[in-house]
Amino acid sequence: MAVPVIAGLGTAQPSSADQDELWTGFFAGHYSGATRALARRIFANSGVSRRQAAVSPLLEDVSEWPTERRMRRYQVEALPLGREAAGRALAAAGLAAGDVGLFVVCSCTGYATPGLDIMLARDLGMAPDTQRMFVGHMGCYAALPGLGAAGDFVAARGRPALLLCAELTSLHIQPVAARVDTQQIVSHALFSDAAVAAVLVPDGRGYALREVTALTDTSTADHMTWEVTDTGFRMGLSPKVPQVLSKHVRGLADGLIARHGADRSGVDGWAVHPGGPRILDVVERELALPERALAASRETLAGHGNCSSPTVLLILDRLLRQPVPPQRVVMLAFGPGLTLYAALLERQD
């Protein structure tokens, strides 16, 4: 069977704004009284300095929009972002859209039929027999099962696959709550918009996808939720999430690495989804990583916020652009379930 190799990445992001500008220009007026003071502290300690938004709260307040209106706007904004990211990934891999055998799209922030997979296949010029897969509502870890599905296709069929993760979290700012809702404040302080695409090819140069693995602790399924409401999608984030990660992340990562004849000391690239600063602190502690190991993850959180499914690919892109790219990369992402996903990549010249 062919070895699936990541041969090209492409990113696309809307306009960005400073975190302090977002606070003073919108969120300071979104809250009042004691809630405003709490929100200010959460924003200040979020680890985020800049974020991107296709629908900026500095220009439009979507917090009272009904879900239908948000979904219609999703179609308008997501298509050009997805087209830009996919086009850049294909160019980086030296492929045309017509070469793609499988097109995988991950998104949990908008739904439509025909969806992004169909409309982008049309706009990019994919072949009529291109297979498509849409991965919805998996949240922040969706890029890794998406990579796994694309990699399995490449290995079995010997044809290229294209993965696209596109999220517009800016469409889901919630109305002002009647009582203090810390989980919504955290969500409003962290989340951002982005689209990232990856091209996987059989063999060749790039980063070989050695394995994708997962672990789900269903006893904590209520710790992270993403509910469809009449006013968009509502995030639930329990403060207990870092405790669950601390219980499972070491075994998941070490087992993955060991199955390929290595240990943590042999990993020189870590792409860890920054659900927030505490998540990165827990992973760093439990895996006994040196401070610089998660620099790319912290820098991505600072410059881009938490973009849900594209984020771990943004971190990978940052790692691969270093003057000396890593030889072996472990990717870790977390989301509803409570689910942990991990992937192992190895540089192949």
Say if residues 10 and 92 touch (Cβ distance below 8 Å): yes
The predicted pLDDT at position 178 comes to 64
Exposed/middle/buried for residue 218 (C-beta within 10 Å: 0-12, 13-18, 19+): exposed
Compute and round to an integer the Cα radius of gyration of the chain.
19
Number of CB atoms found within 10 A of residue 340's CB: 25
Is the CB of residue 71 less than 8 Å from the CB of residue 116? no
- pLDDT value of position 130: 98
Phi first, then psi: give them for residue 90, nearest 5 degrees.
-65, -40
3-class DSSP assignment, residue 67? helix
Do the Cβ atoms of 226 and 137 come closer than 8 Å?
yes
Q: Which of 106, 140, 165, 307 is catalytic?
A: 140
pLDDT computed for residue 180 by the predictor: 82
The pLDDT, as a whole number, for residue 291 is 87
Coil/strand/helix, residue 6: strand
Tell me how crowded residue 53 is: count the other CB atoms within 10 A of its CB.
Answer: 26
Q: How many CA atoms lie within 13 A of 328 on its CB side?
A: 15
User: Both tokens of residue 63?
Assistant: 């917090």
Domains in the chain (CATH in brackets) are 4-202 (3.40.47.10), 206-348 (3.40.47.10)
Catalytic-residue membership of 140: yes
Q: pLDDT by residue for the chain (349 residues), tens digit each?
A: 899 999 999 999 999 999 999 999 999 999 998 899 999 999 999 999 999 999 999 999 999 999 999 999 999 999 999 999 999 999 999 999 999 999 999 999 999 999 999 999 999 999 999 999 999 999 999 999 999 999 999 999 999 999 999 999 999 999 988 678 999 999 999 999 999 999 999 999 999 999 999 999 999 999 999 999 999 999 999 999 999 999 999 999 999 999 999 999 999 999 999 999 999 999 999 999 998 999 999 999 999 999 999 999 999 999 999 999 999 999 999 999 999 999 999 999 8
Beta bridge partners of 195: 12, 166
Global confidence as pTM = 0.97
